[in-house]
Chain A
Amino acid sequence: MQISDFLRGSPDGVDVSGPKLIASFELFGITINLTETVVLSWAIVLGVFLLLNWLTSDMKTKNISKKQVVAEWAVQTIYNLVEDSMGKHWRKFAPYIGALFTFSILGSLISMLGLRSVTADFNVPLTWALITFVMIHSTNIRTHGFGGYLKGYAEPVPVMLPMNILSEVATPVSMSLRHFGNIVSGMIITSLLYFALSVITKKIGIALFTIGIPAVLSLYFDLFSGFMQAFIFIMLTMVYISNADANAEA
C-alpha cells in the first residue's frame, strides 16, 4: 500500500500476498529466485555489519567512549542470558544466539519502515528451526553417544517410540509456525486496519483517523509481537539444546 493511498483512501481492497519476486536467473541448471525476503535480508545484514563496525571501532581499555559502553552492554546481556539459561559451559553459544536474536528482531521490525517483514516469509523461520533441530540432535548424539541417543527414543517404555519420534518432528514445525504465524497475523491485521482507516478517511474527506491510531496499534502488532517472538525463539532454542545435553549443570 502506497502512502498516498493511505492518506486518500485505498482505491481497491486489501491485498495479502507473499514476498514479491525481484529477479530470477539460472545458475548451473538451478533457478535462483531473488525475492523481497532475500534482498531485505541482505539489507539487514549490511546494516547490522555497518552498525557493529561503527560500534566496535576505536575500542580502548581506559576512558571508554559512549558507543563502547553500548557495545559492551549488548554483548554482556547476551552472554548473561545464555549463561543463565544454559549453564556456564555453553558460553561459546552466545554469538549464535545474539546473531539470531538481532536478525529475527530486525527482520520483524523492518515492517515499521513500510517494507515486508523478512520473517513473514515461512522459509526464514523454517530455516532457523531446522538449524535448531540439527543442533538439538547433534548435541544429543555428542553427549549421550549414538547408542544412548537411540535409546532415548524408547524411554520411558519402548511403546512410546512413535510418540517420541512425532514429538521430535513437531519441534521445528511448531517453532517455525509460531514465529511465522505471529508475524504474518500482525501484518494482516495491520493491513486490514490501514484499509479500514483509509475507507473512513475517504468517507469523511479528511485524514482524521489515519493519524496516531496506526502508531498505537503498530506498537502491539509490530513492535511487541516482533520482539516477543524473537525472544521466545532464542529461549526455546536454548532450552531445547540444553535439555538435549547429558551433562547440563542446571
Chain B
Amino acid sequence: MENNELIAKAIVLGASALGAGTAMIAGVGPGIGEGYAVGKACEAIGRQPEGSGAVTRTMFIGCAVAESTGIYSLLIALLLMFANPFLNKLG
C-alpha cells in the first residue's frame, strides 16, 4: 500500500516536471513576435529618427502585450514546480 502511494507520487511529480517543461515551449511565440516588433521599430527609427520617442514607447507597449502568452506559460510552469495542485489531490 505504501509502495503504491510512493509510485503515485512519483508519477505525479514526473508528469508535473514534464508539464512544466512543455509549458515553456510557449516562450517561442513571444520571442519571435517581439523580435519582429523590435526589428520593425528599428526600421521605423532608421527612416524617421525624429519620431524615435513615440516609436519606442509604442513598441514597448506592444511587446508587453505580446509577452502575455509567454507569462501565462511561465506561471503554469512555476505553479507546477513550486505549488503543485495535483499532489494535494492524491490525498
Contacts and interface: CB of A to CB of B under 8 A. Distances in A.
A188 B72 contact: no
Interface residues of B, number: 13
A231 B65 CA distance: 13
A177 B61 contact: no
A229 B68 CA distance: 12
B55 interface: no
A181 B71 contact: yes
Contacts of B64: 178, 228-229, 232, 236
Interface in A178-237: 178, 180-182, 184-185, 188, 228-229, 231-232, 235-236
Interface of B is mostly: helix
Contacts, number: 37
B60 interface: yes
B68 to A, nearest CB: 5
Contact of B68 (A16, A178, A184, A239): A178
B61 A235 contact: yes
Given A178-B67, A184-B78, A188-B78, A232 B61 contact: yes
B74 interface: yes
Interface of A: 16, 174, 177-178, 180-182, 184-185, 188, 228-229, 231-232, 235-236, 239
Given A177-B68, A177-B75, A232-B61, 16 more contacts: A174-B68, A177-B71, A178-B64, A178-B71, A180-B75, A181-B74, A182-B71, A185-B71, A185-B78, A188-B78, A229-B64, A231-B60, A235-B57, A235-B60, A236-B61, A236-B65
